[in-house]
Amino acid sequence: MREGTATVIRREDYAAPAYWIRSVELTFDLDPVKTLVTNRMQVERNPHATTQTLRLDGEDLNLLRVLVNGESVSFRVENQQLVLENLPAESFTLELRNTCSPEKNTQLSGLYTSSGGFFTQCEAQGFRRITYFLDRPDVMAVYTVTLKADRAKYPVLLSNGNLVEQGPLDNGKHYAKWHDPFPKPSYLFALVAAKLVCREQKIRAASGREHLLQVYVRAGDLDKTEHAMHSLIASVAWDERRFGLSLDLDRFMIVAVSDFNMGAMENKGLNIFNTKYVLANPATATDVDHAGIESVVGHEYFHNWTGNRVTCRDWFQLSLKEGLTVFRDQEFSQDLAGTPSARAVKRIDDVRTLRQHQFPEDAGPMAHPVRPDSYLAIDNFYTATVYDKGAEVVRMMQTLVGRDGFARGMTLYFERHDGQAVTCDDFAQAIADANPGSALAHKLEQFKRWYSQAGTPRVAARGLYNAEMRTYTLELSQHCPPTPGQSEKQPFVIPVALGLVGRNAQPLPLQLVGENAPAGTERVLVLSEAAQRFEFTGIEVEPVPSLLRGFSAPVILEDTLSDADLLTLLAHDADPFNRWEAGQRLALNRLLAAIKGDGVLQLDGAYVDAMRAVIRHPALDAAFKELVLTLPGESYIAEQLEEVDPQRIHAVRESMRLQLAHALHAEWEWAYEVHQDQGGYSPDPVSTGRRALVSLSLAYLCLAAAEKQVPLWPGKAYQRFKDAGNMTDRLGALSALVGAHSELAAPALERFHAMFRDEALVVDKWFALQATAPEKGGRVFARVKTLMSHPDFSLRNPNRARSLVTALCFSNPAAFHRTDAAGYVFWAERVLELDAINPQLAARLARAMDRWKQLAEPYRSAAREAIARVAAKGELSDDVREIVTRALA
Ligand code: PHE
Ligand code: ZN
């Protein structure tokens, strides 16, 4: 148990460190029980500092020796810090020796063991769990690292940068020495010592420079590394092409590890990845997994510039690297997708993620600005807000200055700040300065409210057509609800991309009063006041406004579009995002009416006909159709309500699914037949979309069959499950059976487990599928409890814990929110159990209760009680304490 120190850290308290560490030589004698670390630092006093006391951070360390310029000195350890006073005036060598215990490190922060190897994770504050250091990102040092370990057990010894020496040692040991020429903060340090194999490839970059790319995995996994390698090669090429940024190292390594708290980590030259984001072949990984690997490999690679070459001054600036790098990986995947339609599919996917995770966060007790003001545990701020809303903020900058203008801004950013640790202000300033005439430059200070104000702004839109004058007046207004600690908000700068669609389906030319000519049929308005009007002239027919195209700002749009308007947009909008959005809103309107009304949903002909037209549409891509035909999720529906009854939402949504299954039966059959795979597996957007539509169709067909007790489609699904040539189809068929509560689900699940029992990532899918099955009479919850004692289950492996516990609590509202409160009791027990093992993971799970205040009774009182029970526990980590305290505030 790591008991908290409970000190709130505030952004306004930032002060430069009293000392700089310019270089460091680390030597590791690696042993799972007790690893010896020798740490020799070149330290320099910061002449501007107000104190001369040196305080080095350390956690769970055993300190053996402290030498200054080779002499022992007096020191003390206080509040997890090594404190040194009376130090030499300018620069000196500080040598420390300490030990740590990698095998006892279940938090997976610092140096730990996994499957018999050594791995590190240092972001945000793991380095202090390896040795005493100024563990803060504005202290950048050049690292030289020597690793010593048993040669047979740990044949591969890796660290950042270049390998400069290696060789045998006595007693069956060997060593390797690495040097990283780039000064870096401690959070980017990494080492690996393990029995691994690697796929490697030499590439010649556009610059002409040769690089060695390596992907390290366990011996049995080499056949699952091709996609990651391809993704890495594509990433290198993309960053050169789009931003002129090349790889600055001779060697770039990716290492996969099966125990990892997050997705992956961008350590300089030595990225360490959760196996989930490396390993894939058609038999074990789905299309979604392949897409995840592409974007995470890209993400970590892009950090080499946005994060590593230019890093964060302090952790409040986290979005400087994360928001920007998420934006970059999203753009990368869109560019790789190619066609406008495939790009839109990726955009829709990203917006769905934002709405599913970030919008609720911004409306709940953990709401915080993209650049937070304070924290108790920094690990709690690796959030959807910092990452995904942060990416939207960068995207809005690009929208305001244009693609080329944004690329110019990036160039200026690196010209100014390469090698520095900087702030979000520095980034925004560079983008604005490179585009002096832009709306961003004119309104920069106001634009930066996106960094300082939390909450999702609401934009209300009202249009008025004047047939006589041929004018269309658009009134836009904004307001942002209060969030914890911020009761009043100032107006944001909101880019609103729009088009006007004529009732005859034509895009109308957009000319504002006072302009001499129309500026095309799509443009970006900038809403920066609380309310503004825009008057368009020469509008020959009454239009339907298509607002916020491509989701041009992370806001909630409140417009007055009728069903007829939405049907027009669904059929004719030139913007695929808004076309999809119109379909979702049509579904949502029906769902919400039934949920708020008598709980009965009777599907109307207009909606069914519109959906039929989408399925049968000759020009739309299968991927896009699948997105339109997937109903909004239960938690997204919940976000639209003042008071939430999860059981009622589930019942209404299930009833709508069932009606769609019946009403469009012929269409589902047709779609299932005509989109079958031809030929071998490839995870490209077109075949991915076809498979997704086939799986959705099969799910609806099984659902309809279950109700009528006809075994045909479940039988076909079982057959498909057995014979599938790839994991996407196999899992699709299996989940169709599970989702329809078919009798064939149980034997299929059993067979699936038997086939893949040795593939950890597939076993995760097996758990997750059962934990997210549509609840029916409490069976799913009961099954999850049984699965907790399955021999393959363990809370110690984060992927496994997430596959069952997180999946239930976050992704299965109807199984989790029970009138008997058993779900909440289960949650509280797991949070406490996990907190003793891995506080970061426990705190993530704790957030399943974020939105408890929105719940109807009896859920609400029971939820509060469960949270209070956790909060009352004496020895909580800072991580969990921060979450439950905020939840109860
Ligand atoms: N910096 C990592 C990323 O987003 C995420 C991460 C944070 C990983 C903290 C581990 C620990 O790429
Ligand atoms: Zn990142």
Rounded to 5 degrees, what are φ and ψ at 45? -70, 140
pLDDT of residue 678: 82
Atom of ligand 1 nearest to the CA of 124: 9
Q: Are strands 156-159 and 191-194 parallel, antiparallel or unpaired?
A: antiparallel
Instruction: Answer yes or no: is the C-beta of 382 below 6 A from any ligand 1 atom.
Output: yes
300 is catalytic: yes
What pLDDT was estimated at residue 866? 98
* pTM score of the predicted model: 0.98
CA–chain centroid gap for 174, Å, is 39
Over the Cα atoms of the chain, what is R_g?
28
A 10 A CB-CB count for 850 gives 19
Peptide bond into 858 cis (omega under 30): yes
Regarding the beta carbon of 300 and ligand 1, being less than 6 Å apart is answered yes
Residue whose CA lies nearest to ligand 1 atom number 7: 123
Q: Give me the pLDDT at residue 453, please.
A: 98
pLDDT digits (tens, 9 = 90+) for 92-109: 999 999 999 999 999 999
**Length in residues, the chain:** 889
Within 10 angstroms of residue 750's Cβ, the number of other Cβ atoms is: 11
Question: Separation of 271 CA from ligand 2 center, angstroms?
Answer: 11
| Residue to mutate (ligand 1; options 109, 112, 123, 303; most atoms within 8 A of CB) | 123
pLDDT at 4: 57
- At 273, which helix (H) or strand (E)? strand 270-274
Phi, psi of 144 (to 5 degrees): -125, 125
Res 1: pLDDT = 44
Output the CA 264–ligand 1 centroid distance in Å. 6
Cα 543 off chain centre by: 37
Question: Can you give 646-669 as a three-state secondary structure string?
Answer: HHHHHHHHHHHHHHHHHHCHHHHH
Residue nearest to atom 1 of ligand 1 (CA): 265
Residue 420 alpha carbon to ligand 2 centre in Å: 18
Best of 262, 278, 303, 379 for a ligand 1 pocket test (most atoms within 8 Å of beta carbon): 262
Whether 121 is in the pocket of ligand 1, judged by its Cβ within 6 Å, is yes
* pLDDT beneath 50, residues of the chain: 1-2
ipTM of this predicted structure: 0.99
pLDDT digits (tens, 9 = 90+) for 210-233: 999 999 999 999 999 999 999 999
Which of 59, 123, 300, 331 is labelled catalytic?
300
Distance CA 691, CA 740 (A): 19
| Main-chain phi, psi angles of 433, to 5 degrees | -65, -30
Does residue 262 have its Cβ closer than 6 Å to ligand 1? yes
**Pocket of ligand 1, candidates 188, 260, 266, 838: which has the most ligand atoms within 8 Å of its Cβ, to mutate?**
266
Nearest to 405 by CA among 416, 392, 396: 396
pLDDT computed for residue 707 by the predictor: 84
Residue 136 half-sphere exposure toward CB, CA atoms < 13 A: 20
Amino acid at 114: S
Q: How far is the CA of 203 from the centre of ligand 2 (A)?
A: 24
Residue 329 Cβ < 6 Å to ligand 1: no
Return the residue whose CA atom lies nearest to atom 5 of ligand 1: 265
Distance CA 21, CA 711 (A): 70
The amino acid present at 676, given as its one-letter code, is: Q
| Amino acid occupying residue 218 | R
Cβ–ligand 1 distance for 266 under 6 Å, the answer yes
**pLDDT, tens digit (0-9, with 9 covering 90-100), for 260-271:** 999 999 999 999
Q: Which atom of ligand 1 is nearest to the CA of 300?
A: 12
Q: 213 in helix, strand or coil?
A: strand
Q: Is 671 in the pocket of ligand 1 (CB under 6 A)?
A: no
